[in-house]
Each structure stands twice: as structure tokens, then as C-alpha cells.
Structure 1
Amino acid sequence: MSKVEIGQQVPDFEVAATSDKTFKLSDYRGKNVLIYFYPKDNTPGCTLEGQNFRDNIDKFEAHNTVIFGVSKDSLRAHENFKAKQCFPFELLSDSDEAVCQLFGVMQLKKNYGREYMGIVRSTFLIDTEGKLVREWRNVKVKQHLDEVLEALNEI
């Protein structure tokens, strides 16, 4: 699968989700879908990002938008993270990186001089027809929520 671009139909995909569910993109036609990719459960930036979406869920619902978080963590780790943070949305486990590859979020990262492939914090907005309408890459958590809400007001 090649990386999806803005204005393109996002190919349908399925991935394991929390709450013993399977996420299938086509099941959400008629709704805007916000998918945010984050590096790791229970880390400061990832926790704050999820909390920002959680605390503003009513604003997303008012815009006919459902939210899903994605990382490579296991479903078990996701279930614990979701419960601890009281997230009202499902987390998707992309352990084989198929969804990460579709959205092009895997990149070479450096940490303490060590290089590795990891998820670059990114968010994607898919419209009610299944087209990618907005993307945010290398997200800075503090201002990100406002950017996303502003984009929802425009569509």
C-alpha cells in the first residue's frame, strides 16, 4: 500500500482496537474520523495529547467526529492506558505497522545517540466520504488541539 495523500480516498483497513473491537474505516462513513498516531502509551506527551482529546470530546462530537489513537503498543497496554486516562475513544494497536505505513508516520528517530524507526506524532482528519482532508505531522502537543478544532470548524 502506498502512502495516502490529502484529497485522496483513504483505503479501507482493519486493525485491532480496545474494548475487544476491530476498527474498520468503512464502518465510519458518514462521520469525520480523526486518527492520531503517537509513539508510546503512558509517556508524558502521549498522555497529554490523549487527555486534550478526551477533555474536548464534546466539541468533536458536535462536529460529527470520532477519534482514534494509534500506536504500536499491544492491546493489553492500550487497555491499561485507556482505563487509567478514562479515554472515551478506542486505541488501535498497529503492531505490524501496516496503518503506520499507510499514513507514512514511521521515520528514523534519534534518542541518546541511538537511531531507530519510530512513530512521528501525527494526526489525520478523514471526512464523511472517506477522503483525507487534513494532516498534521511532527505535532507539538500544546497547540495541536486548537489546530484540529479550527480545521473541524472549516469543514
Structure 2
Amino acid sequence: MNKRSFLTNLIAICAIAMFGWSNFAPGAHAMGGKLPTLNQSAPTFTLPTNTGSGTVSLADYAGKWVVLYFYPKDFTSGCTLEARRFQQDIAQYQQRQTEIVGVSADSIDSHAKFCDSEGLKFPLLADTNGAVSKAYGSWLGIFSMRHSFIIDPKGVLRATFTDVNPTAHSKEVLTELDRLQTAKV
């Protein structure tokens, strides 16, 4: 690859990471693969984390609600904003017995630096080969797409978000959590 095509690809990746794939290709959620089916068991996973505990599995959250969110890249503007909003609202998630878990293709070291830089108090998981992102229909070749999922205490997928606006997403997720928890699904 020559320097010009490398730079062109890098600019495209940065733009997608910052603004989301759906801003460049309507209906792009389908490009990430098949989304898991609502009201069915969520795809299981075990991935390395930056928290020092080694790995995190979906099974670790049995009995709790989980917001599993996929994002393209640590330290990009949209991903940073989305993470900050989740952190800003973390007490509201805790009141709802809900854990936040972020996933991207970045390394554990990158996640650790990102958490330190942004003061994030929730785990970020390193899906470096995209296997879990693929299982959730959220993989775009070299990075995770901006998708989020709500998983109930029994491990059942209850909500999917594919058209994510990083600025308002945390509030949108909280609203849906309230609806689901009130409905006692």
C-alpha cells in the first residue's frame, strides 16, 4: 500500500469512527452481519479486559442487567463522547442494577490508557479479532460498529440500538431500561 492510499484509508476510518458508519451508508447496520434475535439468549463471550481481572464473560453478570456497547476506536471524538456520557450517568445505571461494558478491537493497553484518560469506571473489552463483534452483528472488517444491546438478568437480549448518536445515547438507553424494567420482561 502506498502512502497516499494509506492516508486515504486512515482518513476514512477516522471519519467513520468519529461520526458513525450510518452517517456514511444508510442501512449500514446490515453490513456488520446478522444482529442477534431479540428475546433470545444473547451471544456469550469471554474477552480480555483492562481492569486487571484477566477476562470478562457475559456469565459474570448473571442476575444483572447489562448494557453491552460496541464502538470503533479508543480516543476518537465520537467514542470518547459516548464513553463520557455512560460514565456521567453511571450512578443511574447502578440504581437500575445495570452494568456497562464497552467492546472494541483496541488492545488491553489502549483500553487502560483510555479509561485512565477519561476516568471510566466500567470495563472495556479487547475484541482484537472481532469474534464477539461478529456474533453481535457489529463488525466492519477492522473495527466494531457503534451498536448497543441491553441484556436482562437471565442473559436474554431485550433491546438493540444500531443508529447511535453518541451525544444522546446514554439517556436513550436509560429510557429503554426503565421501560423494560417496568414491563418486567
**TM-score exceeds 0.5:** yes
From 47, 61, 71, the counterpart of 1:38: 71
Residue 61 (str. 1) matches residue 94 (str. 2): yes
- The DSSP-based 3-state class of the residue aligned with 1:76 is helix
Maintained 8 Å contact 1:120/1:138: no
User: Hey, what does 2:127 align to over in structure 1?
Assistant: 94
- Any idea what the Cα deviations from partners look like across 1:4-23, whole Å, max 9, x if unmatched? 21111013221101122210
CA distance in 1, matches of 2:72, 2:48: 17
Single out whichever of 126-135 and 3-12 deviates more from structure 2: 3-12
Maintained 8 Å contact 1:36/1:122: yes
- Any idea what the Cα deviations from partners look like across 1:18-72, whole Å, max 9, x if unmatched? 1222101111110001111110000100000000000110000000000011100
- Map 1:1-155 → 2, pairs under 5 A: 3-21=35-53, 22-107=55-140, 117-154=142-179, 155=181
CA distance in 2, matches of 1:26, 1:3: 20
AA aligned to 2:72 is P
Structure 2 residues without counterparts, runs of 5 or longer: 1-33
State the TM-score, normalized to the length of structure 1. Answer: 0.89
**Max Rg structure:** 2
CA drift at 1:117: 4.8
CA distance in 1, matches of 2:112, 2:134: 23
Structure with more of its chain in helix, by fraction:
2
Sequence identity percentage: 36
Structure with more of its chain in strand, by fraction:
1
Structure 1 residues without counterparts, runs of 5 or longer: 108-115
RMSD over equivalenced CA pairs, Å: 1.4
Where do 4+ consecutive residues of structure 1 move more than 6 Å?
Answer: none
State the TM-score, normalized to the length of structure 2. Answer: 0.75
- The DSSP-based 3-state class of the residue aligned with 2:56 is strand
Maintained 8 Å contact 2:105/2:143: no
Aligned positions, number: 146
